Amino acid sequence: MNMADLQMREALKKYCTQVSIIKKGYGQEKYRIEQICRSFLGDKTTRDVTSVDIATYRDARLAEINPRTKKPLATSTVRLEMSLLSNFFDISRIEWGICGANPVSDVRKPKAPPGRDRRLTAREDRLILRYAHQHVNQDMYSIVVLALETAMRQGEILKLSWEHINLKSRIAHLPDTKNGTKRDIPLSLKARDALVRMGVKNEGRVFGYTSEGLKSTWRFMTLKLSIENLHFHDLRHEAVSRLFELGTLDIMEVAAISGHKSLAMLKRYTHLKAQRLVRKLEGNKHRGKQTILDHLIPYPASIEEGPEQITVKLLDFTGVEGFGICRESAIKMAQDVLLRRILMSMKDSENIPMPDQYLDLVDDSCLVMIDPLAAELAHIAA
């Protein structure tokens, strides 16, 4: 058969075996090629595909429902398929000579979706770490800790080898990353300890999980913990956010750790810098006052009604409770005890937990917010 008469599915298979196979994302690209081959484009001759055909394919894909999420297909998926087709037609035109133009270049791509900005809540953080620590596979806990401490991608973590880890200098070397460049990752003490607990070896892979295995475990965990809309990759976003929140690293230093080649990808994190400016607005004159006020914030509490008294339990603290014969008096005592506990913790330089880190399962109808500075009980009673 003349190369010019090749159907799209045959030409795409040729592209897959000669071009896609040398790419890092070969598995994903192969899946996209199979999807395109099953469409009406697969039956067309490569040189006969027009921009109208590409636009028709785009609109048909955008109208599809994702069988897993039961939601319309993500625009990012369609954009990736169109990028693949564009590169395919460029190769077909320039190197194989089986088409005269690139029909994708004249077609609008769907609007790019906004980048995900899902952050872990303090409670989700503790729930996940506790679950992972108790998991039958000890890899799980260390993987989660490394993701949060280093901002490494899932694939980078799973490919870690002992011969590329220097625990003395606390550096993990990544010889091959998604961007095609090597990278050295500084290890925090928590990250180093997460590796040490795995049992240090001279060589070989650190973790036994496969990508699909970890994905399955993660999905089961989030369902069991009732955590919605959290992907493993969101831990990378969380880690980068925390690096910026340290206040000691500039954008270039964060990029060196995270491996972002384009600084534009890090722009979504620049809003975090504004949070660090809040305290500076008051100046040195009120800095001590502001530090105290930053800790005197409302905390969640549960109300338990007994036969003789009502108990208000501050969920983020151990042993911080208020009692009373009525709801108002119990809340007032809890407010006073909370205020005293926070101030004593500051005096003794003890750690003060952030609100909503508790792990107890509490009915929402039993929850109230206790404000240590509330002037009136009406402000805190639900």
The pLDDT tens digits of the residues spanning 29-73 come to 999 999 999 999 999 999 999 999 999 999 999 999 988 778 889
Nearest to 246 by CA among 275, 203, 282, 217: 275
Residues 272 and 328 in one domain: no
Q: Does residue 375 have a pLDDT over 80? A: no
Residues 45 and 139 in one domain: no
pLDDT range class, residue 3, cuts 50, 70, 90: low
pLDDT, tens digit (0-9, with 9 covering 90-100), for 183-211: 999 999 999 999 999 999 999 999 999 99
Q: Given this model, what pLDDT does residue 174 score?
A: 92
Q: Does residue 382 have a pLDDT over 50? A: no
% pLDDT > 90, the chain? 56
Q: Which range is most confident: 141-145, 296-300, 346-350?
A: 141-145
Q: Does residue 128 have a pLDDT over 50? A: yes
Nearest to 183 by CA among 260, 263, 248: 260
Final residue in a domain of this structure, among 277, 306, 334: 277
Q: Given this model, what pLDDT does residue 271 score?
A: 62
How far apart CA 233 and CA 60 sit, in angstroms, is: 29
Residues 98 and 134 in one domain: no
Q: Given this model, what pLDDT does residue 278 score?
A: 61
Better-predicted residue by pLDDT, 221 or 318:
221
Number of folded domains that form the chain: 3
Active site residues: 153, 178, 233, 236, 260, 269
CATH number at residue 135: 1.10.443.10
Residues 15 and 41 in one domain: yes
The whole-model pTM stands at 0.65
**Which of 39-53, 74-88, 281-295, 337-351 shows the lowest mean pLDDT across its residues?**
281-295
Residues 271 and 132 in one domain: yes
Parent domain of 137: 122-277
112 located within any domain:
no
Tokens of 227: 């955590």
Q: Does residue 274 have a pLDDT over 90? A: no
How far apart CA 328 and CA 331 sit, in angstroms, is: 5
285 located within any domain:
no
